[in-house]
Structure 1
């Protein structure tokens, strides 16, 4: 059998608490930040509660960095 598969009984309780805490903090932060920016907060928040760290990385590149770019200059002729 594959040694990389574990049941919940084999995982120490401290690791389960740590993982749940990380997901809770990440999802909450992404939700609140997306709500402040007006960018689909429920979508980002739920995705942040499901997995780690992919939602945070994609949120950073798609939303946060996009908002930090200076506005495009239009040439006046």
Structure 2
């Protein structure tokens, strides 16, 4: 059988606790930041607790970088 697959009983409890804490911290931070920016906080927060680090990276590209872009200039002609 493939040695790369583990059952839940084979993983030490401390690792499961650390992973759960990491996911909760990530999801909470993304939720709070999205709420501050007004960008679908529940969607981002729930997605943030599903995996690491993909939701954080996608959130950074879609929300954080988009907010850092300078506003588009309009022509000064009136």
Q: TM-score range by the shorter chain?
A: over 0.9
1:74 matched to which residue of 2? 74
Please report the TM-score for the alignment, with normalisation by the length of structure 2.
0.94
Please report the TM-score for the alignment, with normalisation by the length of structure 1.
0.95
Paired positions, count: 77
Q: 1:76: Cα distance to partner? A: 2.3
Q: What RMSD, in angstroms, separates the aligned Cα atoms of the two structures? A: 0.8
Consecutive unaligned residues in structure 2, runs of 5 or more: none
1:20 matched to which residue of 2? 20
Q: Tell me the distance in 1 between the aligned counterparts of 2:32 and 2:16.
A: 24
Q: Tell me the distance in 1 between the aligned counterparts of 2:45 and 2:23.
A: 10
Consecutive unaligned residues in structure 1, runs of 5 or more: none
